[in-house]
Structure 1
Amino acid sequence: MTITRDEELEALRIIGRIVADTLQAMGRALEPGMTTAELDAIGRALLEREGALPAPEAVYDFPGATCISVNEEIAHGIPGARVIRAGDLVNIDVSASKDGYFADTGASFRVGRVAPSLEKLCRDGRKAMQIGVAQVASGRPLAGIGQAIGRFAERNGYTLIRNLASHGVGRSLHEEPGEIPTWPVSNERRRINRGLVLTVEPFLSRGGLWASEGRDGWTLYSEPRAAVVQYEHTVVATDRGPLVLTLPG
């Protein structure tokens, strides 16, 4: 989506705040002993209270209001009977719509104490996203997002999952300009137009290169198997740089 009117931006700000607040509340609620279904129910209730529709369920018939991926699961995890335990790495992805406008956000959370290397991966995963967001501005190359993230990953000894990309968002969950690589590519020639709404969501890993689909038809796993974190914002490109829509209220 490309924003052309102030009321479009305001509607996106509203749904951006809703998904951001939902994500943060779910992260605060995380505790050992709860199931992923119980965590998803918290997210659903918060979205419903704000009059928002869970996008994975509404758009793709996903079996849950939010995607919750634990440890070896890196994306699109189905909420269910899995019990969250101390030391787990939990990724929560929240996307929703209100009044026909969509926003998408996500983050990886540690449950209790985890290994120092995992703490560092989480810090650097958020940093990788911030580096990518900083590349968003009117007229800049789309490839700059992946190039900047790729330099950071290589410099710090990480890999990037290369078949889970950022994307356009706004009037639908996934829309033009389609997939936006968050890793370096040599044949990307598109540029960022003023008002473009997109996600920035690198999947930073300690060895993972690809995402493969599990038997349930939804859950994605790292190939080769390795720890993976994901952080995501929905942003708007302006002449002065990125405007982040998915900030808590």
Structure 2
Amino acid sequence: MTIEHASELEGLQRAGALVASILATMREAAVPGVRTRELDALGAGMMREAGARSAPQLTYGFPGATCISVDTVVAHGIPDDTLLREGDLVNIDVSAELEGYFADTGASFVVGAASPGQQRLLDATREARDAAIAQLRAGERINGIGRTIESVAARRGLRVIRNLGSHGVGRALHESPGNIPGHYDPRDARRLHEGMVITIEPFLATHSTRAEDAGDGWSLRCQRGFAAQFEHTVVVTAGAPIVVT
């Protein structure tokens, strides 16, 4: 999506505020003994109350209102009867359609206290997201996003999951400019433009460079180690980008 009118930005910001609120509420409720299905029901209820629809359900028929990934599952985890335990590494990804606008956000966290290794992974992934957002400017190459993410990962002694990345969003969950790699691709000549709406969502890992099918048709898992993701929906401008989530 390309923002052309103030009303479009306002609509996107309303959708962004909603998914950000749902993510924060689900994160607060993610305590030991809670089932991921219960967390998902909480998010689904907030969407219904706001008159919104789950974007993964609407777009792909996903078997949950939100994606909740635990431990070695890095993305697209199906909410089920899994009980959260102290020390679990969890990712919640919330995307929704509200009044024709789609916004997408996500965050990883540890239930209870994080180990030093878990905290290092979380801090680095959040840093990669924020650094990539900070360098967004209309006219710059899209591959600068992957360059920045990869640079943070290397400095922190971590790896980038290469088959997961950012994407266009706004009037659909996934749209132009398509997939935006989290690693540097020198062949990618695409450029950012004024009003472009994209996600920034690095996936950093301790050992893996790919996420593999977990066998349920949806979930993607690290074969070794763990991974984390942090995500915002962002509008590109000639100056500082606008974060709507």
Same topology, TM > 0.5: yes
Deviations 1:13-37 (A, max 9, x none): 0000000000011001111001000
Distance 1:114 1:99 in 2: 38
Distance 2:137 2:40 in 1: 34
Residues 124, 152 of structure 2: 8 Å contact kept = no
Amino acid at match of 1:112: G
Partner residue in 1 for 2:233: 234
Give the drift of 1:225: 1.5
Residues 138, 241 of structure 1: 8 Å contact kept = no
Q: Secondary structure at the match of 1:235?
A: strand
1:243 equivalent in alignment to 2:236: no
Give the drift of 1:137: 1.4
Identity score, percent? 49
Deviations 1:47-70 (A, max 9, x none): 111111011111100000000000
Distance 1:113 1:21 in 2: 23
Give the drift of 1:72: 0.9
RMSD of aligned C-alpha atoms? 0.8
Distance 1:47 1:192 in 2: 31
Distance 1:137 1:186 in 2: 18
Distance 2:125 2:207 in 1: 14
1:75 equivalent in alignment to 2:75: yes
Partner residue in 1 for 2:127: 127
Distance 1:191 1:241 in 2: 16
Amino acid at match of 1:102: F
Give the drift of 1:115: 1.4
Partner residue in 2 for 1:171: 171
Alignment of 1:161-240 (within 5 A): 161-222=161-222, 224-240=223-239
Give the drift of 1:241: 2.2
Deviations 1:168-214 (A, max 9, x none): 00000000000011111111111101000000000011111001112
Give the drift of 1:245: 0.5
Count of matched residue positions in the alignment of Structure 1 and Structure 2: 245
Residues 72, 226 of structure 2: 8 Å contact kept = yes
Q: Secondary structure at the match of 1:121?
A: helix
| TM-score relative to the length of structure 1 | 0.97
Amino acid at match of 1:236: V
Amino acid at match of 2:48: E
Deviations 1:59-109 (A, max 9, x none): 100000000000011100000111110110110000000111100000001
Amino acid at match of 1:19: V
Amino acid at match of 1:132: A
Amino acid at match of 1:238: T
Alignment of 1:88-167 (within 5 A): 88-167=88-167
Partner residue in 2 for 1:36: 36
| TM-score relative to the length of structure 2 | 0.98
Task: Structure 1 unaligned segments of length 5 or more: list them.
Answer: none
Task: Structure 2 unaligned segments of length 5 or more: list them.
Answer: none
Amino acid at match of 2:164: L
Distance 1:55 1:39 in 2: 17
